[in-house]
Amino acid sequence: MTRDDDLDLTFKALADPTRRRILDALRDRDGQSLSELEALVTKETDMTRFGVMKHLKVLVAGGLVTTERQGRQTLHYLNATQIRLIHDRWISRYTEPKVAALSDLKSRLEST
């Protein structure tokens, strides 16, 4: 699989609001079990456990979540590396000069 294929899977994973909510939950508290993530998602939607499992599978395929077995449980962890690769490839390259200029302008305006 090429790097672009990996990023295609990452963008696919990021396209769904439920998956983004799972990522937010892992950002807030890493190392959650399926049951914990299921409780969070089903509180907000009527999704089943299998639906949450499918979303996690897409997140793992997209490189955004890693898993680790601990006894009978599988814990899920945010893998921010893929998000950083997106940032480095597209966002920082195009926005850094503009953001720096806006930041400078804001500082100058606040100091007057």
Residue of higher predicted confidence among 22 and 98 = 22
Residue 89 banded pLDDT, cuts 50, 70, 90: confident
Could you give the CA distance from residue 23 to residue 89 in angstroms, rounded to a whole number?
21
pLDDT score of 85 more than 60: yes
Q: The domain spanning residue 34 has which CATH number?
A: 1.10.10.10
pLDDT score of 6 more than 90: no
Query: Which amino acid is it at 96?
Result: E
Helix axes 34-44, 49-61, angle to 10 degrees: 110
pLDDT in tens, 28-75: 999 999 999 999 998 888 899 999 999 999 999 999 999 999 999 999
Helix axes 17-28, 34-44, angle to 10 degrees: 130
Residues 67 and 28 in one domain: yes
Contact 65, 79 (CB under 8 A): yes
Residues 66 and 110 in one domain: no
Q: Which domain holds residue 91?
A: 81-112
Residues 72 and 93 in one domain: no
Any long-range contacts for 17-21 (C-beta under 8 Å, 24+ apart)? 18/45, 18/47, 18/55, 19/55, 19/58, 19/59, 19/64
Question: Can you give 79-90 as a three-state secondary structure string?
Answer: CCHHHHHHHHHH
